[in-house]
Structure formats: C-alpha cells, structure tokens
Amino acid sequence: MKEYDGKITVVFKHYPLEMHNWAMKAALATEAVFQLKPDAFWELHDQLFSVQKEIKVDNLDAEVEGFLKSNKIDIAEYQKKLASDSVKKAVERDLADVKAIGLRSGTPSYYIDGRFLAGAQPIDNFRKVIDEALSDAGLAKPASTTKAP
C-alpha cells in the first residue's frame, strides 16, 4: 500500500495460538530471523502462512532451514539467535501486549488507530479504515488509490 508511505506505521505482534502446536515455534523462528535480517521477516512469515496446513512441529525446522539456505542466512547464527533470551522476550512481550488490549479473536487481527478489523480482509476495507483514521487525525487522504490486482 505504497500510497500510505510516510503516513502510517505497521506494527506486527506475534500471537501464536495454542490451538496450533507449532505456532510458538514459528513465532520464535520468525523473530530470530527478524533479529538477524529484518528484511527477511515478512518473506518467512508469508512462506509459513502459505504452507500452514502442512506444517507440523516435526517439519517446521526443515521448512525454516530451507528458507534460511535460500536467503543465505547462516544456520548456526540463526540457531544461536533462536536460543537467545532476546528472541524469547520479544515474543513474550508481544503476547503480553496482545493480552493487554483484550484480543480474544484469532489471527490475523488488525487495529488501525483503535479501529479493529478481524480476519483476512479485502484491501479496500483497509483503505477505508486507514483513510478514516487519517481524516480524523487531520491528515490528507492519499492523492490516489488503486485497486489491488
């Protein structure tokens, strides 16, 4: 949503649901990747979401290692980061933040300037809520918006 560059900030919070026995492990893996190579975070996030129906606790490591190799991220460095307190504390902090706002629904969930959107949404729903928030803040709506392909 390039039309909002410089106007909005996206903040991601890990929210591994207990019903997915691999979710915490995936949250820790993506956080470790973020701490090593921030630009690779969304790519790993999206890859894991795209295969989430096939992921199990015992095959998650192989999925992540394949990603690491294809993105030239050192596996030993990743494993060291994965075992670090900084990764565990970052995920724990995100969980505390999510619980503090009282989120009880599943993922994905979005808050846009206090406005809640639940579940996968069409891009135009985001544009509408973002434009309302920008307007309420006295900021101009983007000059042009385009429909998602």
Sorted by sequence, the CB contacts under 8 Å of residue 72 that are 6+ apart come out as none
Residue 138 lies in a domain: no
Strongest mean pLDDT among 112-116, 139-143, 144-148 = 112-116
Q: Are strands 115-118 and 109-112 parallel, antiparallel or unpaired?
A: antiparallel
Quote the pLDDT of residue 140: 67
Structure tokens at 42: 């969304």
Residue 110 lies in a domain: no
d(Cα 44, Cα 25) in Å, to the nearest integer?
A: 13
Half-sphere exposure in the Cβ direction for 52 (13 Å, CA): 16
Residue 50 lies in a domain: yes
Judge whether residue 33 has pLDDT over 70: yes
Judge whether residue 12 has pLDDT over 70: yes
Domain that holds residue 55: 23-100
Quote the pLDDT of residue 143: 52
Residue 15 lies in a domain: no
Average pLDDT, rounded, for the chain: 88
Mean pLDDT of 111-130: 89
